[in-house]
Amino acid sequence: MSAKIKYTDEPLGKVQVVPDFLPSPAELAFREEGVKVTLALSKKSIEFFKSEASKHHTQYQRMIRRLLDAYVDSQAAPTRQSTRTLRDKAAQRR
């Protein structure tokens, strides 16, 4: 790290401006309001989500919640997409 960097004033060549696709800090700090519900699911569904959650080191409830959110977002008009969907799309681009 002691070597000095020599800067030159030469042309950079073809430069492309990349649009800012990252979410704002406010979007990153945003937490969607949750509502507690009681829901009876089939045993095989719960076993499936628990198994998949353990493979991916996450919580099975979170997987079910994201599945439901994805379904709702796919059924909603494009202008009604949730902030979570927009944030997830931005994260996928990284």
- Residue-wise DSSP of 13-38: -S--PPP--SPPHHHHH--PPP----
Rounded distance between C-alpha atoms, residue 30 and residue 23, angstroms:
11
Inside any domain, residue 15: no
pLDDT tens per residue across span 42-74: 999 999 999 999 999 999 999 999 899 889 888
Number of domains in the chain: 1
CA separation for the pair 5, 46 (Å, rounded): 58
pLDDT digits (tens, 9 = 90+) for 26-46: 777 767 788 999 999 999 999
- Do 90 and 22 form a contact (C-beta atoms < 8 A)? yes
Q: Is residue 64 included in any domain, yes or no?
A: yes
* 50 in any annotated domain: yes
Is residue 72 one of the residues assigned to a domain?
yes
How far apart are the C-alpha atoms of 77 and 19, rounded to whole Å? 25
Of the chain, the end-to-end C-alpha distance in Å amounts to: 29
Q: Is residue 7 part of a domain?
A: no
Q: Is the pLDDT of residue 76 over 60?
A: yes
In this predicted structure, the answer to whether residue 83 has a pLDDT above a threshold of 70 is: no
Report if residue 5 sits inside a domain: no
Domain limits at 76? 42-93
- Domain-embedded: residue 49: yes
The DSSP string of 66-89 is: HHHHHHHHHHS-GGG--HHHHHHH
